[in-house]
DNA sequence: AGTCTAAAACGGAATGGTTCCGGATTCTGG
DNA sequence: CCAGAATCCGGAACCATTCCGTTTTAGACT
C-alpha cells in the first residue's frame, strides 16, 4: 500500500492529515513487511516527528485499524504486531526471532457452510503457523536470536 | 479428554498428582468445551480445593500446556483461553460474548510446501474466525452480552 | 492573515492479566 | 521417619496498553 493511497483513504473518512500521522504512515509503508510492533513504529516515527508521544502512536494505530488500513495481530506476553497486507493469507511466525512471513495459500472454508451449521457469522479471521524460520533453523544452537520483540520474561 | 487419561499422562511424565492439580483437571474436563480462561478455572477449581492460589493455577496451566494436555489461545486485551481439543480445527470466536465454538473443517495446507518455498518449519498453528455467534446475532440490539471475559475496556 | 472549534497530540498516571520471588508445605523414595 | 525435591502459596513486580486532563493544531470560514 502506498503513502498516497493511505492519505487518500484518510481524507475520504474525514480524518485530518497531521504531521504525526504522516510520520507513522511513512514507517508503515517502509517497514510494513516487517509486521512492526507499536514500539518499533514509535521509535522510527519519532525520528521524523520529534515530539511524537507513545500514546499518540497507539491512538493513530487504532484509528488506522478502525478504518481498515492496517490489521492487528494480537499476542499475549509479546508485543502486538501490525500488518498492511489485508489479503487473506497465513502468517508464519518464528518463535525464536519473532519474524513474520506472509504465506499466500488459498484457504477454502465456505463461510456460508459455517453460518448454516453453527449460526456463526464471520467478520474477520486469523490464520497462523508457528515454528522456526529458515535463519533460525540454521542458527538453532547459536546463542541469541536476532529479533527484537519479546514482552515479558521467558 | 477424560480425567483418567490426563492423570495417566501426568504419571508418565513423572509429575505428582496433587490435590490442586486434580481440582483443575476436574474443571478442565467439565468446562473444557467453554474454552475457559484462567480466572474461570481458578474460581471453579477453588471450590474443590479451598486453598488454591491464582499463581498455582497459572503454574499448573503452564505445566499442562508444556506436556501437551491443553493448548493456549492467547489474546491481548482479553483473558487468554484454554482448550483441550487438540485436533486441528477452526475456533469461531464471538466478539460480543466471548463464546468459542470448535468448527471441524479440513484445512489443506501442505507443510512440506511451506517448508520448501519459505524454509519455515511449522510446529503449531492457530486458525480463528472472528464474528458473532447465533445467540448474539439474535440479541444484537439488546443491552448486555451474556459472556464473562473481557480484560480491559472497550 | 486572523478566528473559531472540533480533532488531535501530549505526558504521565493507571490498568490488569500474568509472571516472578522467597518462603512454607507436601510428596516421594529410601 | 527423614531428606531432598517438587509443589504451593501470597504478594509484589511487570509492562504493553489504555485512560485522562490539558495543550496544541488542522481545516473551514470569514
pLDDT, tens digit, 9 for 90 and up, residues A45-93? 999 999 999 999 999 999 999 999 999 999 988 899 999 999 999 999 9
State the average pLDDT over residues A29-49: 96
Report yes or no on whether pTM surpasses 0.75.
yes
- Is residue B153 pLDDT above 80, yes or no? no
- Write out chain A residues lying below 8 Å of B123, CB-based: 95, 130-132
Q: Which residue has the higher pLDDT, A98 or A143?
A: A98
pLDDT digits (tens, 9 = 90+) for B95-135: 999 999 999 987 878 889 999 999 999 999 999 999 999 99
pLDDT number for residue A140: 73
Architecture of domain B3-73: Orthogonal Bundle (1.10)
- Is A154 near strand C, with its CB below 7 A from some atom of it? yes
Closest by CA to A85, choosing from A99, A63, A104, is A104
Do the chains contact at B90 and A109, CB–CB below 8 Å? yes
How many angstroms separate the CA of residue B119 from the nearest CA in chain A? 5
Q: Which of A120, A128, A131 sits opposite B133 (nearest CB)?
A: A120
pLDDT digits (tens, 9 = 90+) for A92-136: 999 999 999 999 988 878 889 999 999 999 999 999 999 999 999
Instruction: State how far the Cα of B86 lies from the Cα of B83, in Å rounded to an integer.
Output: 7
Give the mean pLDDT of chain B.
90
- Is residue B145 pLDDT above 80, yes or no? no
* R_g (Cα) of chain B, nearest Å: 18
Architecture of domain A87-138: 2-Layer Sandwich (3.30)
Per-residue confidence band for B142, with pLDDT thresholds at 50, 70 and 90: low
Find the chain B residues whose C-beta atoms sit closer than 8 A to any C-beta of A: 74-77, 80, 90, 92, 94-95, 101, 103, 105, 107-109, 113-114, 117-134, 137
Domain ranges of chain A: 3-73, 87-138
How many angstroms separate the CA of residue B121 from the nearest CA in chain A? 5
HSE value, Cβ hemisphere, 13 Å, CA-based, for A53: 3
- Is B29 near strand D, with its CB below 7 A from some atom of it? no
Do the chains contact at B122 and A80, CB–CB below 8 Å? no
- Reading the block at residue A75, the C-alpha cell is 499476542
Do the chains contact at A103 and B119, CB–CB below 8 Å? no
For residues A80 and B76, the answer to whether their CB atoms sit within 8 Å is yes
Amino acid at each position: 500500500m502506498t503513502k498516497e493511497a493511505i492519505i487518500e483513504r484518510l481524507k475520504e473518512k474525514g480524518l485530518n492529515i497531521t504531521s504525526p500521522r504522516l510520520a507513522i504512515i511513512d514507517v508503515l509503508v517502509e517497514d510494513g513487511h516487517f509486521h512492526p510492533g507499536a514500539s518499533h513504529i514509535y521509535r522510527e516515527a519519532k525520528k521524523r516527528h520529534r515530539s511524537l508521544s507513545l500514546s499518540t502512536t497507539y491512538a493513530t494505530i487504532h484509528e488506522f485499524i478502525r478504518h481498515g488500513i492496517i490489521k492487528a495481530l494480537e499476542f499475549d506476553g509479546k508485543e502486538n504486531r501490525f500488518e498492511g497486507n489485508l489479503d487473506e493469507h497465513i502468517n508464519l511466525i518464528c518463535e525464536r526471532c519473532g519474524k513474520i512471513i506472509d504465506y499466500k495459500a488459498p484457504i477454502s472454508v465456505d463461510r456460508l457452510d459455517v453460518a448454516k451449521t453453527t449460526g456463526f457469522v464471520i467478520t474477520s479471521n486469523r490464520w497462523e503457523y508457528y515454528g522456526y524460520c529458515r535463519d533460525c533453523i540454521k542458527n538453532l544452537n547459536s546463542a541469541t536470536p536476532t529479533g527484537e520483540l519479546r514482552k515479558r520474561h521467558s
